[in-house]
Structure 1
Amino acid sequence: MLAILLRRIYFTQLFCGGLLGIYAARQFGQSGAKALPLVLLCALLLPLLLQLSVISVSMLQSRAKSAGPLWWRAFGGEFLAALRIYWLQMPWANSKNEVWCPDLPQQTQTWRVPVLLVHGYICNDRVWDKMARALHRAGHPVLAITLEPLFTSIDDYAPQIQHAVRQLQQATGARQVALVGHSMGGLAIRAWMRGHGSVDVARIITLGTPHQGTQITPWSPTPNAAQMVWHSPWLQALQASETPDTRQLMHIALTLHDNIVYPQRDQVLAGASVTEFKGMGHLELCLDARLIGYVLQKLH
């Protein structure tokens, strides 16, 4: 489980940072209570610097290299999004995968279209915390699932998505559901639809999904990451399996400052509607108010 793995990684980083703090305190001749502030500072600073270095490398490697206010806004937003998602949300997931239904409005006694949220690579359901709350407030029953195992073929996630769709339908009585996927989650939705059809689909929204793959790395040791390599055979076969009617159900949101999936302007599919955003990174797509508003608009 990703949550357990993340907790172990971060506790290890805090421990190593604390050791560096103890070493630094000794170098400055501090001990006991006087050394505590420096030890705590180093314990916190090491994980922050590691996170900052990861974001920095990804932002500099991506094709959105042009300096300017939007690039710096994307850089800062992605760093804060990574801290929030990878530190405050995902390590504490419980993976209950329960349907969250809002109170029925008295004037209609009906819910809006139910929404299934599907996360991306090396993430879990907690990446959707902010989006799920917004959808719930707007009257949508919501189910955010955790795809497991972490490293397997994207096709292997189709049964989990099928189960979640049935769970939403049974909990709400709805005939169709909307599916929202971030990054790899959009591909998992398309892979599910290849095997199960679109009869249960109201619409599909993808955020930062590598529909054409990503050039962040030319190879990968994991099956699902290998399938997301730029123009991989798996992606080409997936595209060949889709009909014009299927594509009309899809709405693609991409950010021109994506630091993980790039080049972004190529992440389109013939027949699917595309909306471009600027000034935000890959993870920030799950948090930004503009994206949440976009999703609500497409659902309504």
Structure 2
Amino acid sequence: MNGESKVLALPLAYSTGQNPIIRTLPMLARLLRTIYLFQLLAGGLLGLYAADRLGLSGAAAVAVVLLCSVLLPLLLQLSVISVSAVQSRPSLAGRHWWRAFGGEFLAALRIFWFQLPWANPKNEVWCPDVPQPMQAWRVPVLLVHGYICNERVWDKMARALHEAGHPVLAITLEPLFGSIDDYAPQIQQAVQQLQQASGAARVALVGHSMGGLAIRAWMRSHGSADVAKVITLGTPHQGTQMASWSPTTNAAQMVWRSPWLQALQANETAATRQLMHIALTRHDNIVFPQREQVLPDAYVTEFEGMGHLELCLDARVIGYVLQKLQ
């Protein structure tokens, strides 16, 4: 992001008990760097073994080592996408299925290799750098990421919003595997930071996946007086059957029709849900059953031919968000 257009940079804190903790490098960024280093080393060792068995030396041996170092992480990423794609939509095939599968694999490489590991320890408001009064800016937007992600998942979306004249703040929620309810104070602090930087009374909130639930949990705690609009992308509003494999607290809350989700919906009013615009994709490989992810009184738009992570990158979705924010 262009440093000249960031007008306010405040470190966000998350709270454990009564003591706020100022983040250094986000937890997920540290974790991914460690994982990828291990994968590269493991691939290199496999390459050394292969070169030795093939009797290679010199440049040929180096080439095999480098190839294995890169190939192992690629194959692991491909296997994860393959399992989720088959598990979520085994009855669907054809052009849209293959488009979603290939696009999701490329999106995972881009996001998990080149964006998430390099997250910034600070959350900064990115305001339009066009010389005009604050009152001429468009509605400020808070971007809230999903499960096992951080603020860098929003790189493309944030850039598009900024270029369209929106003050933007993308935050990182931590701890990584905590309760979704515990993210509400972080969102409240980010909303106040965005209001202070932009001078606006109300902000729009955009959540991807679990981020949409975190926004709803925040509104349950703090109300919707500061909300201009809520847009959710691939959010498991009714839960996902994929979440049953994970033992973490926030994953358990996202299990298909979990008690936590039912209590969240029971505490919402029709007026609150009328602020919400839900985007889902029928080829979502993480949140499924896909077409069940709706709420009474909320507006719903359906996309196809894209996977779960692609919702943060696809030009159609970015155009949809920009249109809704007008």
**Alignment match, 1:122:** 148
**Alignment match, 1:239:** 265
**Alignment match, 1:148:** 174
**Alignment match, 1:59:** 85
- 1:32 Cα shift? 2.7
- Render the CA deviation track for 1:224-263: whole Å, top value 9, x for unaligned: 0000000000000000000011011000000000000000
**Alignment match, 1:248:** 274
Q: Distance in 2 between matches of 1:52 and 1:220?
A: 20
* Matched residues, number: 300
Among 214, 224, 248, which residue is 2:250 paired with? 224
> Unaligned regions of 5+ residues in structure 1, if any?
none
2:200 corresponds to 1:168: no
Q: Distance in 1 between matches of 2:262 and 2:243?
A: 18
**Alignment match, 1:38:** 64
Alpha-carbon distance change, 176 to 31 in structure 1, aligned in 2, over 3 angstroms: same
> Unaligned regions of 5+ residues in structure 2, if any?
1-26
Among 203, 215, 220, which residue is 1:177 paired with? 203
Q: Please tell me the residue identity of whatever aligns with 1:69.
A: R
Q: Please tell me the residue identity of whatever aligns with 1:163.
A: Q
**Alignment match, 2:129:** 103
Q: Distance in 2 between matches of 1:150 and 1:289?
A: 28
- 1:284 Cα shift? 0.5
Q: Distance in 2 between matches of 1:81 and 1:256?
A: 17
Percent identical: 80
Among 228, 231, 251, which residue is 1:202 paired with? 228
SS in 2 for 1:218: helix
- Render the CA deviation track for 1:106-150: whole Å, top value 9, x for unaligned: 599611000000000010000000000000000000000000000
**Alignment match, 1:272:** 298
Q: Quick check: 94-103 or 141-150, which moved more?
A: 94-103
In the alignment, is the contact (CA less than 8 A) between 1:74 and 1:281 conserved in 2? yes
Alpha-carbon distance change, 65 to 79 in structure 1, aligned in 2, over 3 angstroms: farther
Normalised by the length of structure 1, the TM-score is 0.98
**Alignment match, 1:211:** 237
**Alignment match, 2:212:** 186
In the alignment, is the contact (CA less than 8 A) between 1:64 and 1:258 conserved in 2? no
- Render the CA deviation track for 1:71-94: whole Å, top value 9, x for unaligned: 000000000000000000000111
**Alignment match, 2:15:** none
Among 43, 47, 50, which residue is 1:24 paired with? 50
